[in-house]
Structure formats: structure tokens, C-alpha cells
């Protein structure tokens, strides 16, 4: 018996979830635009070629965007939401802005959701900017040897955030009862 769409997320989501410009929260080359990119990898470090990554983020001033129209890109409105499919090498990328802190004294972050084959539900995590400063209850609760799994690094293209679905380098994933928001 084969899996039905209700039994696994992928690869069925590739049919209807991607949309034109979904990974461009701002046009590449716009003033202040950065590239957030990385790879989705399985427990053996093998790229996952049919995953989908979504991000939600505050704007550079730390305001959570509430503008409608996230699925229709107009080339200038920043809505704080993006969706990118991975390529055959498991790579994804977004053109976006660096988020600001949503609360005074807390480090800025991207809220990240991952959909992939074999997952019965999506996975939630955060990607903090490099060298997070300030107190953050969630980040502070992660064991120090695993904290790096939720902190992006910088490279010549922008920010790098690799997502390891399991294994020794597994990204720390979050649990939200009934998926109640990610802006806690």
C-alpha cells in the first residue's frame, strides 16, 4: 500500500505550494537586501531535494508585518513571509531584509518552518542572526552544545542557515501546542 497525501507531507506539496517570487521578500539588489540561504539535509547529511522552507520575520525595525498579500508579490511591499523549495542539492534561498528585534533586548530571528517527505507534520525552528545579543528565553533554554544549530552564519552571499532534519547535527526544532504562533 502506498502513502496517501494525508499520511505524509511530501512530495505532494510541490504541486501546489510554490508560487512565483515566493522566495523574494524583497527584490534581489534592493537597498538593504540580503540573501538567507542554506541546505536541508537528512540524518546522514544527504541533501533533501524536495523540501519546502518557509520563513516569517519582522522588518528591520522589529515590527511584525501584518500587510495582506504575502502570496502576491508586487515588487515593493515587504510582508515578512516567504516560501522556497529546495533544489536537487537540497539548497534553498530567500532575498530578504535582516529582521530587527521584536522586543527590546531580544535578539532578532527568522521563524522557520520545514516541510519534507516522510514528515507527518511541518517542523518549526528559528534562525537567529549571528552573534545573538540579549536575553532570549527560547535560545537560553537550548543546551549550549546545540545552540549553534539555530544560529545563522555569514558568508559572502549573506546569511547561511543549514537545516539538519535528524542525526548528530540535528537542528533544534520547536513544539507549539496546536501551532499557536511563533512570535512568543
Q: For the chain, what is the mean pLDDT?
A: 86
Check pLDDT > 90 for residue 102: yes
Cα atoms found within 13 Å of the Cα of residue 155, Cβ hemisphere only: 10
CA–CA separation, 26 and 34 (whole Å)? 9
Which whole number is the average pLDDT over 77-104?
94
Which whole number is the average pLDDT over 26-55?
94
For the chain, the structural domain boundaries read 12-179
The whole-number pLDDT of residue 44 equals: 94
| DSSP, res 151 | B
The whole-number pLDDT of residue 6 equals: 46
H helix or E strand, kind and range, residue 138:
helix 137-141
The whole-number pLDDT of residue 184 equals: 43
CATH number of the structural domain 12-179:
2.60.130.10
Higher pLDDT: 63 or 17? It is 63
pLDDT single digits (tens) 133-150: 889 999 999 999 999 999
Helix, strand, or coil (residue 83): strand
CA–CA separation, 91 and 49 (whole Å)? 8
Residue 67 burial class via C-beta count within 10 angstroms: exposed 0-12, middle 13-18, buried 19 and up: exposed
Which whole number is the average pLDDT over 50-66?
93
Which whole number is the average pLDDT over 88-106?
96
Check pLDDT > 90 for residue 85: yes
Give the residue carrying C-alpha cell 510541490.
Answer: 14
Which whole number is the average pLDDT over 22-34?
91
Which whole number is the average pLDDT over 39-54?
94
Which whole number is the average pLDDT over 114-121?
84
Amino acid at each position: 500500500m502506498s502513502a496517501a497525501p494525508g499520511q505524509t507531507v511530501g512530495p505532494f506539496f510541490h504541486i501546489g505550494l510554490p508560487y512565483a517570487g515566493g522566495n523574494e521578500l524583497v527584490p534581489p539588489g534592493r537597498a538593504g537586501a540580503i540573501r538567507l540561504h542554506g541546505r536541508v539535509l537528512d540524518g546522514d547529511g544527504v541533501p533533501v531535494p524536495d523540501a519546502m522552507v518557509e520563513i516569517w520575520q519582522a522588518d528591520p525595525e522589529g515590527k511584525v508585518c501584518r500587510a495582506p498579500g504575502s502570496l502576491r508579490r508586487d515588487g515593493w511591499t515587504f510582508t515578512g513571509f516567504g516560501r522556497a523549495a529546495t533544489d536537487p542539492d537540497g539548497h534553498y534561498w530567500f532575498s530578504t531584509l535582516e529582521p530587527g528585534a521584536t522586543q527590546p533586548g531580544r535578539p532578532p530571528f527568522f521563524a522557520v518552518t520545514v516541510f519534507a517527505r516522510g514528515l507527518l507534520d511541518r517542523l518549526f525552528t528559528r534562525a537567529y542572526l549571528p552573534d545573538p545579543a540579549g536575553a532570549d528565553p527560547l535560545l537560553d533554554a537550548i543546551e549550549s552544545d546545540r545552540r549553534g544549530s539555530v544560529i545563522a552564519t555569514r558568508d559572502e552571499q549573506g546569511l547561511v542557515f543549514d537545516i539538519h532534519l535528524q542525526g548528530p547535527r540535528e537542528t533544534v526544532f520547536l513544539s507549539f501546542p496546536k501551532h499557536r504562533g511563533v512570535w512568543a
